[in-house]
Chain A
């Protein structure tokens, strides 16, 4: 299937299928979404106006048999941060989009009249259809209705009420192989889709296949690559306990942000830990292991049942559990799972929204620990778009401004996730310098700072942190372009066969001859493209800082502050 650019203009309600420009051919995933956004979106535009574009791209290896290659990148100018944004997630869409011969789907413009639309993509066609039944409905209703309406198992991208109301924390939600949802959660890309009045996108690959230039070489490289993933000792723990295995180790390290970032340890950590979650899942007949996309050999997702044994939520992640748990002081996993399900249904980022609740708790909107209150506000306020619901749905910074709270954990207006930067300083560098606001996945320094993966760097020392974060951010930008799940990085950091096998996969897929240096250069150029967009949008070095309370309020139990100067931080970009 030849790779094409599929373009949808919502102003004129027209579509086109175009050849891939030469300069985009070597890109995929994040590299491609950022290249297209930088090339076609005015950096100073309003993210919810007609000049912004939503760009959706499978990775370079998506749609092939390569293990763990099913991540989909979605990019735009973010309404939350005002920066360039790429958010990637699993589900079936990346592989199906690649099989349909789509290198990238670009949605531009805004419709002139009221009303909602859907987009249907096949290898030969892309159409815009009016949609009257599903607006106002949650994501699960969309999946149920479309399961009856459509033939086969098309990929589905959808927005819930949060996206329709253009809330800055809105997800684009992606159907997984079993009808659960994965979320492109960070940065409010669902609001961009909502601004263009698109309720859902379906992709039917027909009998499309991804062509492999050198099939035998590809198979052999995949064998080596998949073995490296399977053999890494970390894979077993991720499968058994999910990402939530981290609660106890980050708590033990004194770096689990608790009670709106006022402490580094949570008394109720054991109740919300991966170990406890695993036991509950097994006891209630759920699934401790589950893959968010076909071909994943790690299987860190899971199905979490309620006390009656009915499915409550899936893909129950550490970041979500930490944010509603420790940061909001809720020590009840069932309440957290209920809130997780509601947020999936509304289509709203579990990190941004839960950290926003932590700030709302500090403001006295509800008490710390009030898990039932979180669920009630999500259902009665956020889903319905009341004043309070919109304040929370527009994110952590929005709540801080509305209630006059000064301890607001955001960088570039995006909520800081589950590792306190005062006692894991490498993460502070990543949060501050990331091209996309605070985001742990941009350069996961927890590896060497805490987990002893890819070396050891003292988490409370400044030594080596900038270089660590830089190397990880460069590598991550490259990995995010392949369609690979970031969790391949653990094996790539420790197993010398893993990264060469990944490069062999790329070379065999396209019949090219990339080297390790080329991959580093790709990562560097993606970061520079993204930063160039941000500088043109008006960001400066002064935006690469943490909120001031991190420099002034010591974090128990280690009683440390974040202490990098602006000058030190600026050296991050020396490459």
Chain B
């Protein structure tokens, strides 16, 4: 299945901003985070299709996954 992965802030360093990936069915958000070598403890916000999600969630065809470190401001 095709999934778009978007990275933000310092998660982009030595990685990418946006990539389209072809994934096995049943792949979870956590699987992608681990493959990308992102430290789970550094994660602040995860969204699929602009809604919050968790590391355990299984991805679906055409999902857009966004991964942010802990950030804030205002």
Q: Which residues of A contact B (CB under 8 A)?
A: 232-234, 236-238, 240-246, 248-249, 252-254, 265, 270, 274-275, 300, 318-319, 440-441, 444, 446-447, 450-453, 456, 458-459, 486-487, 490, 557-558
Q: Closest Cβ of chain A: how far from B39's Cβ, in Å?
A: 10
Complex contact A248–B72 (CB within 8 A) = no
Q: Flag whether B69 is at the interface (Cβ < 8 A).
A: yes
Complex contact A244–B73 (CB within 8 A) = yes
Q: Flag whether B14 is at the interface (Cβ < 8 A).
A: no
Q: Closest Cβ of chain A: how far from B70's Cβ, in Å?
A: 4
Complex contact B9–A241 (CB within 8 A) = yes
Whose C-beta in chain B lies nearest to the C-beta of A318? B73
Q: Flag whether B25 is at the interface (Cβ < 8 A).
A: no
Task: Give 1 or 0 for each of B46-74: 1 = CB within 8 Å of chain A CB.
Answer: 01001010000000000000101111111
Q: Flag whether B44 is at the interface (Cβ < 8 A).
A: yes
* Residue from A254, A275, A441, A557 in contact with B74 in the complex, judged by beta carbons closer than 8 Å: A441
A440-B74, A490-B72 given; name 4 further pairs at CB < 8 Å: A238-B72, A245-B73, A453-B70, A487-B73
Most buried by A among B47, B68, B70: B70
* Residue from A238, A242, A249 in contact with B68 in the complex, judged by beta carbons closer than 8 Å: A249
* Residue from B8, B44, B47, B66 in contact with A233 in the complex, judged by beta carbons closer than 8 Å: B44
* Residue from B10, B17, B47, B74 in contact with A237 in the complex, judged by beta carbons closer than 8 Å: B10
Whose C-beta in chain A lies nearest to the C-beta of B42? A233
Cβ of A244: which chain B residues have Cβ within 8 Å of it?
A: 73
Cβ of A242: which chain B residues have Cβ within 8 Å of it?
A: 73
A300–B73 Cα gap in the complex (Å)? Answer: 8
Complex contact A237–B50 (CB within 8 A) = no
A487–B42 Cα gap in the complex (Å)? Answer: 19
A77–B47 Cα gap in the complex (Å)? Answer: 42
Complex contact A452–B44 (CB within 8 A) = yes
Q: Flag whether B45 is at the interface (Cβ < 8 A).
A: yes
Complex contact A246–B73 (CB within 8 A) = yes
* Residue from A249, A265, A319, A557 in contact with B8 in the complex, judged by beta carbons closer than 8 Å: A249
Q: Which residues of B contact A (CB under 8 A)?
A: 6, 8-10, 12, 17, 42, 44-45, 47, 50, 52, 66, 68-74
A429–B68 Cα gap in the complex (Å)? Answer: 26
* Residue from B9, B50, B69 in contact with A253 in the complex, judged by beta carbons closer than 8 Å: B50
* Residue from B10, B42, B74 in contact with A246 in the complex, judged by beta carbons closer than 8 Å: B74
Complex contact B73–A252 (CB within 8 A) = no
Complex contact B12–A237 (CB within 8 A) = no
Complex contact A249–B70 (CB within 8 A) = no
Complex contact B52–A456 (CB within 8 A) = yes
A431–B69 Cα gap in the complex (Å)? Answer: 27
Q: Closest Cβ of chain B: how far from A185's Cβ, in Å?
A: 14
Complex contact B6–A237 (CB within 8 A) = no
CB within 8 Å for A249 and B74 given contacts A240-B9, A275-B12, A557-B50: no
Cβ of A318: which chain B residues have Cβ within 8 Å of it?
A: 73-74
Complex contact A248–B8 (CB within 8 A) = yes
Q: Closest Cβ of chain A: how far from B67's Cβ, in Å?
A: 10
Q: Which 3 A-B pairs have the closest CB atoms?
A: A243-B73, A233-B70, A237-B71
* Residue from A237, A446, A456 in contact with B9 in the complex, judged by beta carbons closer than 8 Å: A237
A16–B68 Cα gap in the complex (Å)? Answer: 54
Complex contact B72–A451 (CB within 8 A) = yes
19 pairs, CB–CB < 8 Å, chain A vs chain B:
A232-B70, A234-B72, A238-B71, A241-B9, A243-B73, A246-B72, A248-B68, A252-B68, A253-B47, A274-B73, A318-B74, A444-B74, A446-B72, A451-B71, A452-B70, A453-B72, A459-B52, A487-B74, A558-B50
Cβ of A246: which chain B residues have Cβ within 8 Å of it?
A: 71-74
Complex contact A238–B42 (CB within 8 A) = no
Cβ of B72: which chain A residues have Cβ within 8 Å of it?
A: 234, 237-238, 245-246, 446-447, 451, 453, 487, 490
* Residue from A245, A252, A274 in contact with B47 in the complex, judged by beta carbons closer than 8 Å: A252
CB within 8 Å for A238 and B73 given contacts A245-B9, A254-B50, A451-B45: yes
Cβ of B8: which chain A residues have Cβ within 8 Å of it?
A: 248-249, 252, 275
* Residue from A234, A274, A319 in contact with B70 in the complex, judged by beta carbons closer than 8 Å: A234
A444–B72 Cα gap in the complex (Å)? Answer: 11
Q: Closest Cβ of chain A: how far from B14's Cβ, in Å?
A: 14
CB within 8 Å for A252 and B12 given contacts A234-B72, A451-B44, A456-B52: no
Whose C-beta in chain B lies nearest to the C-beta of A557? B50
Complex contact A249–B71 (CB within 8 A) = yes
Complex contact B69–A237 (CB within 8 A) = yes
A270–B66 Cα gap in the complex (Å)? Answer: 14
Complex contact B66–A252 (CB within 8 A) = yes
Complex contact B70–A252 (CB within 8 A) = no
A446–B72 Cα gap in the complex (Å)? Answer: 9
A253–B74 Cα gap in the complex (Å)? Answer: 15
Whose C-beta in chain B lies nearest to the C-beta of A458? B52
Complex contact B42–A240 (CB within 8 A) = no
Whose C-beta in chain B lies nearest to the C-beta of A244? B73
Q: Closest Cβ of chain A: how far from B9's Cβ, in Å?
A: 6
Complex contact B69–A233 (CB within 8 A) = yes
Most buried by B among A275, A318, A441: A275
Complex contact B71–A234 (CB within 8 A) = yes
A529–B30 Cα gap in the complex (Å)? Answer: 48
Complex contact A237–B66 (CB within 8 A) = no
Cβ of B73: which chain A residues have Cβ within 8 Å of it?
A: 238, 242-246, 274, 300, 318, 487
Q: Closest Cβ of chain B: how far from A186's Cβ, in Å?
A: 13
Whose C-beta in chain A lies nearest to the C-beta of B69? A237
A319–B45 Cα gap in the complex (Å)? Answer: 20
Most buried by B among A252, A450, A458: A252
Cβ of A254: which chain B residues have Cβ within 8 Å of it?
A: 50
Complex contact A450–B45 (CB within 8 A) = yes
